[in-house]
Structure 1
Amino acid sequence: MLRKQFWAGVCGVLLVFGMVFGPMDGAIAFTDEQNLLLQAWRYVSQSYVDETFNGQNWWVIRQKFLKRPLNTQEQAYEAVTEMLALLDDPYTRLLRPEQYRSLKVSTSGELSGVGLQININPETDLLEVIVPLPGSPAEAAGIETKDQILAIDGVDIRNIGLDEAAARMRGKKGTTVALTVKSAKTEAIRTVKVTRDTIALNPVYAKLEEKNREKIGYIRLNQFSANATEEISKSLDQLQRQGADRYILDLRNNPGGLLQAGIEIARLWLDQETIVYTVNRQGIFESYGATGHPLTDAPLVVLVNQATASASEILAGALQDNGRALLIGEKTFGKGLIQSLFELPNGAGMAVTVAKYETPLHHDINKLGILPDEVIPQDPIPYRMMATEADLQYQAALELLTQGQAIAKAA
């Protein structure tokens, strides 16, 4: 039986480990390369969210690609990549072995690289920085949110995919990588050599803030990794012991992560409400709800911005739709799709969009995002300036909480 782990993130997937399917075409003997292509084709055929396959006959596509010369593993990878491109879905993609390993590592533990969260901007098709991680080599090099990465070690990013770009930036600690960067603010182009380092993936930062004699717990969640729920719980417990009786949950620049982590974290704040609906290719709804054991019912404000995506939007939408929190900041990214990743031979993997999600009030936020209750425009700021006097959105949240206007569920 397959084990599944759902993922909802800008670059995220649902992990399916274990079973490898053999030929399912009668007595025909296929080569290893053809079997890899067929396996990728079957995963899409069985699971892809759009059963029209972008208006194409998926069986005809299968036959077309089987006629191609597939004599090497590289030729098979290229064929799978071209086949998936016909779906016109940037989230359904092939992950070569190194990319697949890196993706699994990114949900827990640590990795070695430059410390950038990146995405292909759907409007420009350019590689864009979501955010440099705090204390990372990328942040030290002055790379900022919304900067464009034009080339990696001289390789034009238009010639490689998102996952390969991420893989090229990762590497052994102490090695260097040359990034050609276009500034979002000045449009100046520069090439900077960045020395890779070990990137800690602790997803939570917390502190106690005092304003107008009120004690406010601030929690920033950077990613929905496997240990995110535990770290949030620890932070809440510590802040409560310090006297916090109202909270700010900062989801800005959070690209998402494990769907289950998003659901579990929502349960820390909600009672018995619906958290999210998922909708499969047949239009069948499945709901996930709270269990009735929130850790706190204290007033809550959630900070969001244009880089708040996917699992972050699930959490923000659940708290907003259920009247549990007020949202402050800017409209969110707008990724309402859930991927799954299926294992392929020789350590490769494949991400497939398998469902979409809707908020508790059935808002489909894909490409639309979530509009905050209070819109506070703010240019992107580095992590070191977040939750400081220079952070306009944070200051607005503090003001709202100390005026007693934030929403909390009754005990």
Structure 2
Amino acid sequence: MEEEWKKKKQKSFWLGVIAGVCVVSAIVLGCAIGGFLWFKDNSSKEFLGKKESTKLRVIQAMISRYYYKDVTEEDMADGLYKGLVASTDDPYSQYFTPKEYEQLKEETSGNYAGIGALLGRPTGTTNTLVTKVYDNSPAQEAGLKKNDEIVSADGYRSEHFETLSDFVNHIRGEESSDVTIVYKRAGKEKSVIIKRKNIEIPSVLYYMLDQKKGIGYIEIMEFTGNTQKEFEHALADLKRQGLKAVVYDVRMNPGGLVDQVTGILDDLLPKGTTVSMKDKKGREVTYSSDDRTQEKIPCVVLTSGQSASAAEIFAGAIRDFKYGTLIGTKTFGKGIVQQTMPLSDGSAVKLTTETYYTPSGDCIHKKGIKPDLELQYKFKGDKERADLSVDTYDYKNDNQIQKGMEILKKELSR
């Protein structure tokens, strides 16, 4: 399992994982009435009065009569709902159509029907590159390799999609359906038909760094629905290999599910609060670890500016419990929590509802977490290979991993 961090540490990629930098916990609130979500609130007047309703009907009529393309009533209604949520001026709050909500649940579950390849876009380009091909996947069977450029899917070219997420969603589809992929390798294009199948996306990667010293490595790439189980399996397997100390890596982790990160912290830490959350009325929810399990293994945690949200909950708890040493650069600084609230028609609304605090009471929103040891990432290998299909990444050339191993070796020698 030693194909980690690859060239994504050498080039800046936005990975095609749409769960993104948000902490999501689905709850059901209220009910859908006439297409709107209403909560009983005696302190506010009815949102849509006669004046607002009349204006909406006028705008609808103008669109239907004058807009140069046909717009369905469903699309207009969805635009209305999206606009209402957008009034919060919050990039993390949004309205999901039923189709979009199904995609969100698929992505956060860690399972989807697709080709089994992780895609990325080099910063500032519209090129789509294969950053990883999963074992026993349709992509592997079709011959796709890391660093192949995906030119198009079913005739739709990559550069015509505004975001990588849109292109990834286009490639995904129903299980057993076909998608025609045109890819480029060494300047030559090739077309291949790939049959989609259900893919379980691993969120944890692990291996031994130093068998003799017993130093292991666990990268948590994202906190999806399977992450705690994957993490526990990784830790147990490394222990069977003689684990005595571990490097945890959340450098490229954009966040994910609250219950998964707090579950992992419960596995590791002694009794105490691991994170607390407060809403605008000051109501607090806390997550805690108990005494049933506690790992007394020396550790370091690698962080970067792309460590966000749930990854920062993880790093913040490790820091405040003085459980391990944080190495790398300051984290992203997303200290707010979103809740996704389903509606009866299959749609959903995601809203930022709370601010979270580390065990010491620190609010890290918009300021991030400063590591104990600040160390810029510097890959010491060959970054300028003309043949990008050759992966030159090696943890021995990763200065942050090497610093982590150095610290752990000193701790083990005490």
The two structures have a TM-score, normalised by structure 2, of 0.71
CA displacement at 1:292 relative to structure 2: 1.4
Give the match's secondary structure for 1:320.
Answer: helix
The amino acid across from 2:395 in the alignment is T
Return the alpha-carbon distance in structure 1 between the equivalents of residues 145 and 317 of structure 2.
Answer: 32
The residue correspondences of 1:118-197 to structure 2 (distance < 5 A) are 134-135=132-133, 140-141=146-147, 152=158, 154-157=160-163, 167-168=169-170, 170-171=172-173, 175=179
Deviations 1:346-403 (A, max 9, x none): 4222211111101111111112111111112126999x76661121111111111112
Specify every segment of 5 or more residues in structure 2 that has no aligned partner in the other structure, as ranges. 1-18, 61-71, 150-156, 184-188
The residue correspondences of 1:62-73 to structure 2 (distance < 5 A) are 62-63=48-49, 66-67=53-54, 68-69=56-57, 72-73=73-74
CA displacement at 1:261 relative to structure 2: 0.6
Return the alpha-carbon distance in structure 1 between the equivalents of residues 395 and 78 of structure 2.
Answer: 47
State the partner residue of 1:312.
311
Return the alpha-carbon distance in structure 2 between the equivalents of residues 363 and 14 of structure 1.
Answer: 22
State the partner residue of 1:21.
31
Evaluate the alpha carbon distance shift between residue 226 and residue 204 of structure 1 in structure 2; reply closer, same or farther with a 3 A threshold: same
Give the match's secondary structure for 1:223.
Answer: coil
Q: Does 1:219 align with 2:213?
A: no
Contact 1:216 1:244 in 2 (8 A): yes
Deviations 1:243-292 (A, max 9, x none): 11111111121111110111010011101122001011202222211111
Specify every segment of 5 or more residues in structure 1 that has no aligned partner in the other structure, as ranges. 1-7, 24-34, 47-56, 144-150, 180-190
The amino acid across from 2:203 in the alignment is P
Give the match's secondary structure for 2:365.
Answer: coil
Evaluate the alpha carbon distance shift between residue 86 and residue 255 of structure 1 in structure 2; reply closer, same or farther with a 3 A threshold: same
Give the match's secondary structure for 2:352.
Answer: strand
Evaluate the alpha carbon distance shift between residue 223 and residue 74 of structure 1 in structure 2; reply closer, same or farther with a 3 A threshold: same
Return the alpha-carbon distance in structure 2 between the equivalents of residues 286 and 20 of structure 1.
Answer: 20
* Identity score, percent: 27
Answer with 1 or 2: which has the greater Rg: 2
Evaluate the alpha carbon distance shift between residue 397 and residue 65 of structure 1 in structure 2; reply closer, same or farther with a 3 A threshold: farther
Give the match's secondary structure for 2:230.
Answer: helix
The residue correspondences of 1:329-408 to structure 2 (distance < 5 A) are 329-378=328-377, 388-404=395-411
CA displacement at 1:10 relative to structure 2: 1.1
Return the alpha-carbon distance in structure 2 between the equivalents of residues 335 and 277 of structure 1.
Answer: 14
Return the alpha-carbon distance in structure 1 between the equivalents of residues 224 and 192 of structure 2.
Answer: 25
Deviations 1:185-229 (A, max 9, x none): xxxxxx999998665412111112217x41112111112122211
Return the alpha-carbon distance in structure 2 between the equivalents of residues 300 and 400 of structure 1.
Answer: 9
Give the match's secondary structure for 1:240.
Answer: helix
The amino acid across from 2:241 in the alignment is Q
The residue correspondences of 1:246-285 to structure 2 (distance < 5 A) are 246-285=245-284
Return the alpha-carbon distance in structure 2 between the equivalents of residues 195 and 141 of structure 1.
Answer: 19
Return the alpha-carbon distance in structure 1 between the equivalents of residues 364 and 412 of structure 2.
Answer: 26
Evaluate the alpha carbon distance shift between residue 401 and residue 65 of structure 1 in structure 2; reply closer, same or farther with a 3 A threshold: farther
Deviations 1:65-124 (A, max 9, x none): 644136822111101111111111011101122221111112224222663479xx9xxx
State the partner residue of 1:105.
106
Return the alpha-carbon distance in structure 1 between the equivalents of residues 95 and 367 of structure 2.
Answer: 26
Evaluate the alpha carbon distance shift between residue 343 and residue 281 of structure 1 in structure 2; reply closer, same or farther with a 3 A threshold: same
Give the match's secondary structure for 1:140.
Answer: coil
State the partner residue of 1:326.
325
Contact 1:100 1:347 in 2 (8 A): yes
Count of residues in Structure 1 that have an aligned counterpart in Structure 2: 343
Give the match's secondary structure for 1:134.
Answer: strand
Q: 2:118 aligned to 115, 120, 145, which one? A: 115
CA displacement at 1:294 relative to structure 2: 3.0
State the partner residue of 1:148.
none
Evaluate the alpha carbon distance shift between residue 281 and residue 234 of structure 1 in structure 2; reply closer, same or farther with a 3 A threshold: same
User: What CA RMSD, in Å, does the superposition of the two structures yield over aligned residues?
Assistant: 3.9
Give the match's secondary structure for 2:214.
Answer: strand
Deviations 1:153-209 (A, max 9, x none): 52445xxxx975663454467535799xxxxxxxxxxx9999986654121111122
Q: Does 1:75 align with 2:73?
A: no
Contact 1:229 1:265 in 2 (8 A): yes
Give the match's secondary structure for 1:404.
Answer: helix
Return the alpha-carbon distance in structure 2 between the equivalents of residues 132 and 307 of structure 1.
Answer: 20
